[in-house]
A and B are shown apart, each in its own frame.
Chain A
Amino acid sequence: MNINNKIKRNIILVILIIPLLISIIFTVIGVNRPIQTDEDNQITFMTYNIHFGMGMDDKLNLERLAQNMLLGDPDIIGLQEVENGRFTSQGVDMALWLATRLEMYYRYYPAVNDAAFGVALLSRYPIIETNTYDLMSIQLERVLLHCKLQINSSFNLDVFTTHLGLNNENQTQQVQEILEITDLVSGPKILMGDFNMNNTDPNINITLYSRFNDTWWEINRPSDEGSFPSYPGAVSGNRIDYIFATNYSTIIDSKIISDMIPSVNAPWEYGSDHLPVVSTLRF
């Protein structure tokens, strides 16, 4: 082999290693988790049905979802319709992606086929305990995710996130199951998610209200602002996403984030067909 070919050969073999090095560098960059403790016990919660990462323009865009979430500056996020590794969602682990992007800890629990329609909890606080529950479901499976978070050295918080079914009989049963589970936990609790019912439904305004406070309603009543669909605009009275709470001190604020990009009113600004609901509480 002549010298020229030897040099070319070595160059090619060196070039081949570059993709691997780049991949390792970018992998190492992303695997850091800051730990945040909060001494004043003021925490911002968000619930967001992310519709498999698909926005109102039918495009998967996790950065857009992250930007939508950052508008609320949440500390703890409950997500619904989260997917992991499904080829129909381009094989992304959405909970892992969003947690890395937002620099949070996370837990994920799938509802269907180990990869689809799941719920996730993202948290700036360490997650010290996790329990998962399959709820009685017709058609699509529904689940409940329970995480215990270490807010600081003297305060742990139990957070539940769920996504209820569409069938009315099923919803009643699922609410009962959820309350049986949450009743096992004493102390401050948060229950949030997509309940697929507005608050005129007895499952909400009688059953759930008997145990929890609807944080958005406490601040904003009698407004009938909706959380679904996101575009062309939330239908009044169609508030189906909730943040319920017990044993807290005060509700500082609660809102539905409906304007993702000021001066733009187009489908592409919405990362999902739902709007995120945000509540800030002090414990």
Chain B
Amino acid sequence: MANGHNDKFLDSFLDLNIKRGSTLFFLSFLLTLFFIEAMRSYIPGIYIQMFHVVFTDEGWTLSLLSLMTMGLFALPLFSKILSDKFGKKEIMYISMVVVSIGRLLISFGLPAIIDTTLSSLIIGFYGIFMACFLGFIIENQFNESIKSKVVGIGFFSFAFISAILIDFTIRTIGFTADFTLINWPIEPWYNYQYLWTMFQIILSAACIILPILIWKDISPSGDLEEKKEIKKSGKNFIALIVGLGLGVFFFLGFNILFYPNAISQFTGSNYFIINIIIIVVITLSCYIFLEIKEKHIGLELLMILNVFLIISLVIFLFIGNLFGNIAMLLVSISFAPLLLDIYILLKLASTKGKRNNKVRMYSNAFSIALGIFLLFSFLYDFTTDWSFIIRAFRGLGIPILLVSSVLLFLSVIITLYLLKNKEAQK
């Protein structure tokens, strides 16, 4: 019986029904992978469309329309309304289908504007999926003997971290925009881009078919009666903190840290070595996450790890070029606390709110996260590459990164404080 605190996460996961457990893991892992890939391609796509709009050439109206796809980032806010109206199970499934088909369509090499629009759809609907999935798993609606929310959060967090690991691996092999280190013997050469399509068809089909295998195991929607709130319990504040933490995590990750070339540029180090070290650290993080007992993830330990994280980021940002290899090592190792912070933030969101209301908590947090990601990404771009447009912004790129690092640190510290209070109340 999985009770979370006294078991290693891996042992708790292995206690799950193998068919249900592996299906749930595979689905959450794959959909998160598609989300990560969409996040990587969305800002570059928007950047190109903005280029057409700003420098006003032919077709700029279509480019302007594609900029409005940012509005789809607000989709997760409607998770609760949609799930109340159509059923949480049904909405979760629809979001999985949209994400899977969106990712499949992107692999067919469609025009850039459609790719950008599909990326925003994937991101928006992933938010709905995540909110519903976490709602289900915390409220034990997957008919599992998960006695502890902790195991559910740990399960999803591990799927998230695994997806980051596989995304790095795929980029190293070269199936996205990163390295292709071998010449695939495909003729004519322009069919090379469809090599990934074959894999994507299988993966997308799996995401659509697999949920049907466990459909009846998921508790029907509306099973849980929403209890009237007795008093306001600070849910909005929690959503804000979690959203802030996730948002700056996305910003730092998808602008700098998830790109070994960016780290290489900051530190003057070798791309190949940085890439491998990061993959080693993420792999070790996976091992450690599986093997530790939740009760050993003490608040003091987490505090120390996050102090190490903020110091590493500051060294990396300000004197990375002076202490190249040291800064590179520090920032690579800081991936470990960074990934652990995902678990901590998701755990905080699970502690507040009445039953059947977790969907709203996670959907609000995710929408806030996406908003912060967009805000900081555009600020960073206008203070670096596009700083010639607004001269006053020149040179503010590093301060933006520093502010986001500090915000991440603060949000995690507040999270730890709130979790400690919660435990003290028990």
Q: Does chain A bind chain B?
A: yes
A: residues with CB less than 8 A from B are: 1, 5, 8-9, 12-13, 16-17, 19-20, 22-24, 26-27, 29-31, 54, 57-64, 67, 84-93, 96-97, 100-101, 112-116, 139-140, 261, 268-269
Interface residues on chain B, number (Cβ under 8 Å): 66
**In the complex, chain B residues whose CB is within 8 Å of the CB of A62:** 177, 180
**In the complex, chain B residues whose CB is within 8 Å of the CB of A139:** 388
**In the complex, chain A residues whose CB is within 8 Å of the CB of B283:** 16-17, 19-20
A88 with B47: CB separation less than 8 A: yes
B: residues with CB less than 8 A from A are: 10-11, 14-15, 18, 40-41, 43-45, 47-49, 109, 111-113, 115, 165-166, 168-169, 172-174, 176-183, 188-190, 192-193, 254-256, 258-265, 271-272, 275-276, 279-280, 283, 286-287, 290, 377, 381, 384-385, 387-388, 397
Residue of A nearest to B283 (CB): A20
Contacts A19-B283, A85-B265 hold; do A5 and B11 have CB atoms under 8 A apart? yes
Count chain A CB atoms within 10 A of each CB in B14, B176, B263, B381 and give the residue with the most. Answer: B14
Contacts A16-B283, A88-B47 hold; do A27 and B272 have CB atoms under 8 A apart? yes
Q: Once the chains are docked, how many angstroms separate the CA of A17 from the CA of B180? A: 21
Q: Once the chains are docked, how many angstroms separate the CA of A9 from the CA of B259? A: 31
Q: Once the chains are docked, how many angstroms separate the CA of A62 from the CA of B10? A: 41
A59, chain B: closest CB distance, angstroms? 5
**In the complex, chain B residues whose CB is within 8 Å of the CB of A61:** 193
**In the complex, chain B residues whose CB is within 8 Å of the CB of A58:** 45, 48-49, 111-113
A147, chain B: closest CB distance, angstroms? 19
- Total inter-chain residue pairs, C-beta < 8 Å: 152
B11, chain A: closest CB distance, angstroms? 7
**In the complex, chain A residues whose CB is within 8 Å of the CB of B173:** 22-23, 26
**In the complex, chain B residues whose CB is within 8 Å of the CB of A30:** 179, 181-182, 272
B279 with A19: CB separation less than 8 A: yes
B265 with A115: CB separation less than 8 A: yes
Interchain residue pairs with CB less than 8 A apart (17) = A1-B11, A8-B14, A12-B10, A22-B173, A23-B168, A26-B173, A27-B272, A30-B179, A31-B272, A54-B48, A63-B192, A87-B256, A88-B47, A97-B178, A261-B190, A268-B190, A269-B190
**In the complex, chain A residues whose CB is within 8 Å of the CB of B41:** 90
A100 with B179: CB separation less than 8 A: yes
B190 with A23: CB separation less than 8 A: no
Q: Once the chains are docked, how many angstroms separate the CA of A67 from the CA of B166? A: 28
Residue of A nearest to B387 (CB): A113
**In the complex, chain B residues whose CB is within 8 Å of the CB of A12:** 10, 290
**CB contact between B44 and one of A16, A89, A101, A113 (< 8 Å): that residue:** A89
A188, chain B: closest CB distance, angstroms? 32
Q: Once the chains are docked, how many angstroms separate the CA of A7 from the CA of B86? A: 42
Q: Once the chains are docked, how many angstroms separate the CA of A59 from the CA of B48? A: 9
- The 6 A-B pairs of least Cβ separation, nearest first, read A91-B259, A30-B181, A58-B112, A85-B261, A85-B262, A90-B177
Residue of B nearest to A22 (CB): B169
Contacts A54-B48, A88-B381 hold; do A63 and B180 have CB atoms under 8 A apart? yes
Q: Once the chains are docked, how many angstroms separate the CA of A199 from the CA of B184? A: 41
B385 with A97: CB separation less than 8 A: no
A231, chain B: closest CB distance, angstroms? 12
Q: Once the chains are docked, how many angstroms separate the CA of A19 from the CA of B147? A: 32
Q: Once the chains are docked, how many angstroms separate the CA of A60 from the CA of B189? A: 16
List 20 additional A-B contacts (Cβ < 8 Å) besides A29-B182, A54-B48. Answer: A1-B11, A5-B11, A5-B14, A5-B15, A12-B10, A26-B179, A27-B172, A27-B181, A30-B182, A57-B111, A58-B48, A58-B111, A58-B112, A64-B190, A91-B261, A92-B261, A100-B181, A115-B262, A140-B388, A261-B190
Residue of A nearest to B14 (CB): A5
A140, chain B: closest CB distance, angstroms? 6
Count chain A CB atoms within 10 A of each CB in B10, B176, B181, B276 and give the residue with the most. Answer: B181
**CB contact between A26 and one of B10, B14, B40, B181 (< 8 Å): that residue:** B181
B279 with A101: CB separation less than 8 A: no
